Chains A and B, each alone.
Chain A
Amino acid sequence: NAGVTQTPKFQVLKTGQSMTLQCAQDMNHNSMYWYRQDPGMGLRLIYYSASEGTTDKGEVPNGYNVSRLNKREFSLRLESAAPSQTSVYFCASSEGDRGNSPLHFGNGTRLTVT
């Protein structure tokens, strides 16, 4: 099993450009998450999806949209990238309800917005 797969691994965008970060899991997990990690800030939740067809805002949702395409896939879209969105983005999944089971993370996407 591949676990949680994220693409791309690296991306450089100019301010105002858009892009979609892709995430897929093959563990048949119900819940999926998008986090960003910045130095000194720790992991911050952007959006999560408790099940297929549902999405909810996390701690820092502004400037992002998500789509839970099916049970396997959960994508994160930046419509108009800003330098403040330079970060490392991690997708994660968990088997059960939020927090009751551990999270499994993808390898991360390093995004730089110039």
Chain B
Amino acid sequence: RKEVEQDPGPFNVPEGATVAFNCTYSNSASQSFFWYRQDCRKEPKLLMSVYSSGNEDGRFTAQLNRASQYISLLIRDSKLSDSATYLCVVNNEDDKIIFGKGTRLHILP
């Protein structure tokens, strides 16, 4: 099993819809979790950290499920500007940072 796995997509979603991504991780001792957004030909930028209790930032909600070893990102009322690649990042107990390969999202007008 790969350390961090994401569905590469692309997800083609109409504007205004809700879309959800999952990211699975293999190391049950993983400690920190993040979602990054990367636009085409740009650097990754932190979208949100993922806390055990789940967290919400506007239209974005992140959840952590330790029992099943996955994190999720939910985007509500999607905008054209949400089109990007979303990277899942997991930090293991040995301080190793693992990046997923990303999920591509296309919001359709």
Residues on A facing B (Cβ under 8 Å): 40-43, 45, 90, 97-100, 102-108
A42 touches B43 (CB 8 A): no
A99 touches B91 (CB 8 A): yes
Pick from B43, B95, B96, B102: contact of A107, CB below 8 A. B43
Q: Which residues of A contact B102 (CB under 8 A)?
A: 42
A106 touches B97 (CB 8 A): no
A103 touches B46 (CB 8 A): yes
What is the interface of chain A mostly: helix, strand, loop, or mixed?
loop
Residues on B facing A (Cβ under 8 Å): 31-32, 34, 42-46, 49, 87, 89, 91-92, 95-97, 99-102
Shortest 8 CB-CB contacts between residues of A and residues of B? A99-B91, A42-B101, A105-B43, A98-B95, A43-B99, A102-B46, A99-B97, A99-B95
- Provide 21 A-B residue pairs closer than 8 Å at the C-beta atoms, listed in order of the A residue: A40-B101, A42-B99, A43-B44, A43-B99, A45-B97, A97-B95, A98-B96, A99-B91, A99-B95, A99-B96, A100-B31, A100-B32, A100-B95, A102-B34, A102-B46, A102-B49, A103-B46, A104-B46, A106-B43, A108-B42, A108-B43
A6 nearest in chain B by CB position:
B43
Apart from A98-B95, A98-B97, A100-B31, what are 16 other A-B pairs with CB-CB below 8 Å? Answer: A40-B101, A41-B101, A42-B87, A42-B99, A42-B100, A42-B102, A43-B87, A99-B92, A102-B49, A103-B46, A103-B97, A104-B46, A105-B44, A105-B45, A107-B42, A108-B42
